[in-house]
Amino acid sequence: MKVTLLACTPDADRICAVAARSCYSERGASEMMGSIEPEKALPRVIAMGHLSVVEHAAFTFSVEGASRSLTHQLVRHRIASFSQQSQRYVSMEGAGFVIPHTVEADSEAEGLYKETMERIWAAYARLVELGVPNEDARYVLPNGCTTNITITMNARELLHFFSLRCCSRAQWEIREMACQMLELCRKVSPLIFKDAGPACVRGPCPEGEKSCGRPWTKAD
Ligand SMILES: Cc1cc2nc3c(=O)[nH]c(=O)nc-3n(C[C@H](O)[C@H](O)[C@H](O)COP(=O)(O)OP(=O)(O)OC[C@H]3O[C@@H](n4cnc5c(N)ncnc54)[C@H](O)[C@@H]3O)c2cc1C
């Protein structure tokens, strides 16, 4: 899977900091842009939960070679915009598939998995050859089929997304993607994403009996 940050609001930390400060100042945001010190203004506001100010920053990612299983989970996040490779307009004959680590770890499981995938793709190709359109032939394709998706989220939604999907309760593939997205966000907006990640980074774990009970590490 390849995760790329395609674009984001320039100087997002400063924009959000000045937006926050403009709520409590007689001066307008344009006047304060040059003088504001984001590291003084922003972390406090975020810690207080005044998260509407980080909605001013948007981030667009390209995720390539993820499974359809991952994207099915991803698109449940409603405060986001998605553009996904179509299985109607793009032939899936050359598409790949994701092999989960648990399958790779066992040679018999891996063999069975790959053989099944080969049969599925052979069936897809034969259906297309018989005149079945891509949009119908795709019904035989598996959850593991790879796809590309472009995602845009504002920073508030990203904080929420990282809270759920960087957690060890999230499935490994979406977790891997979320952790890569967080790293990319931190590089460009270290203040907004300073305490981003699962809830246990900021306080007690809310997962109750499902809690892993361990401090967070992205390598889990
Ligand atoms: C570990 C894990 C396991 C999961 N297992 C399942 C499962 O078994 N089955 C299943 O169906 N789903 C499952 N999900 C998906 C989950 O239920 C959510 O649909 C998904 O995580 C999106 O989260 P969200 O609704 O909080 O966030 P988003 O859709 O990203 O929305 C962000 C926030 O906006 C607000 N919001 C958005 N839309 C509305 C609305 N219509 N009304 C009110 N407030 C709104 C809420 O505060 C919400 O938290 C799982 C998720 C995780 C992380």
Q: Is 165 a catalytic residue?
A: yes
- Of ligand 1's atoms, which has the minimum distance to the CA of residue 170? 1
- Which ligand 1 atom is the nearest neighbour of the CA of 169? 1
CB atoms within 10 A of CB 66: 21
- pTM attached to this predicted model: 0.94
Report how far apart, in Å, the C-alpha atoms of 74 and of each of 55, 67, 155 are. 19, 11, 16
Rounded Cα–Cα distance for residues 159 and 156 (Å): 5
| Cβ atoms of 148 and 84 closer than 8 Å | yes
Cβ–ligand 1 distance for 75 under 6 Å, the answer no
- What's the CA-to-centroid distance between 180 and ligand 1, angstroms? 21
Distance 169 CA to ligand 1 centre (A): 14
Q: Report pLDDT digits (tens) over 70-107.
A: 999 999 999 999 999 999 999 999 899 999 999 999 99
| Tens-place pLDDT, residues 105-119 | 999 999 999 999 999
The structure tokens listed for 149 are: 């998706």
pLDDT beyond 60 at 220 = no
Residue 205 near residue 31, CB atoms below 8 Å? no
